[in-house]
């Protein structure tokens, strides 16, 4: 990545100017923002989004509706955005839970294998010993044996 062109651009635009005097903004801005009546809100309540069966299940799982029978065929973007956010959070939480449980299970099974004497080094030595004996069926096995 080439840093020099960005540095030159920032230097030219005055971003690295140490002599510039910075002031705090006044209580009232000199030019208040004008409101445009033609600009709409991010969500327009008149719009209705159609729901598939999967999306209806997601609405019930997010506890937005009590059952699948109560879910309408079309919902507003506000409702769907809220449902998606809740489902995203739930999926992330369940994923973290299952990862932690999986790590605990791997640690427990690894310690049990260690107590039985099953180590990677022992497995490697056994494989080399069987391979050097010259049995044809042993030469076709993989690294972890049959």
Residue 1 pLDDT exceeds 60: no
As a whole number of angstroms, the distance between CA 8 and CA 23 comes to: 25
DSSP assignment of 79-103, as one string?
HHHHHHHHHHHHHHHHHHHHHHHHH
- Nearest CA-CA partner of 51 in 59, 43, 63: 59
pLDDT digits (tens, 9 = 90+) for 77-86: 999 999 999 9
As a whole number of angstroms, the distance between CA 79 and CA 101 comes to: 33
Q: What is the pTM of this model?
A: 0.54
- Nearest CA-CA partner of 57 in 90, 93, 22: 90
């Amino acid at each position: 990545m080439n840093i020099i062109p960005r540095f030159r651009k920032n230097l030219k635009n005055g971003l690295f100017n140490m002599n510039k005097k910075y002031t705090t903004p006044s209580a009232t801005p000199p030019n208040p923002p004008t409101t445009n009546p033609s600009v709409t809100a991010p969500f327009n309540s008149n719009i209705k989004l159609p729901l598939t069966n999967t999306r209806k299940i997601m609405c019930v799982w997010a506890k937005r509706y009590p059952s699948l029978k109560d879910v309408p065929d079309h919902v507003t973007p506000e409702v769907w955005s809220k449902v998606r956010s809740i489902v995203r959070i739930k999926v992330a939480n369940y994923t973290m839970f299952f990862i932690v449980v999986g790590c605990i299970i791997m640690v427990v099974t690894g310690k049990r294998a260690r107590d039985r004497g099953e180590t990677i080094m022992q497995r490697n030595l056994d494989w080399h010993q069987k391979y050097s004996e010259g049995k044809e069926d042993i030469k076709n096995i993989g690294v972890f044996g049959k």
